[in-house]
Amino acid sequence: MFAAVISTNATIDVKNDVVTVNVDPTKTEITPSQLPADVKDAIMDGDYAQWNIEKAYKITYTPEDGDEAKVEYEVHFSNDQGQKEIEVYDEEGELIED
């Protein structure tokens, strides 16, 4: 049995029965032009292609075990009707579901 207590700034990844705890991400605001091409393509092909990008963030998770850092991109959208939405993408432009 596995049990863990983590802070709200941590994520847990499980792959091939290996648990990796990513702690204290670094969240840096970037311009929309700094988003990776794959993320930009996903946005243009997605539900929010006609919305405005208000803000974008690069979120870097540093795993405790020395593995490669995990990077995600948080994008804040708004439309002309005042609606707002936040979507999170991985480096390959795949939408990360809540």
CATH of the domain at 79: 3.10.450.360
Total domains in the fold of the chain: 1
End-to-end alpha carbon distance in the chain = 25
51 in any annotated domain:
yes
Any domain includes 10:
no
- Would you say residue 6 lies in a domain? no
Q: Which residues of 7-19 are buried (b: 16+ CB within 10 A; e: fewer)?
A: eeeeeeeeeeeee
Residues 6+ apart with CB under 8 A from 83: none
Q: Is 17 contained in some domain?
A: no
Domain-embedded: residue 69: yes
Model pTM above 0.75: no
Cα–chain-centroid distance for residue 64?
A: 19
Along the 98 residues of the chain, how does pLDDT read in single tens digits? 444 434 445 556 666 676 666 567 899 999 999 999 999 999 999 999 999 999 999 999 887 766 788 999 999 999 999 999 999 999 999 999 76
The whole domain housing 55 covers 24-90
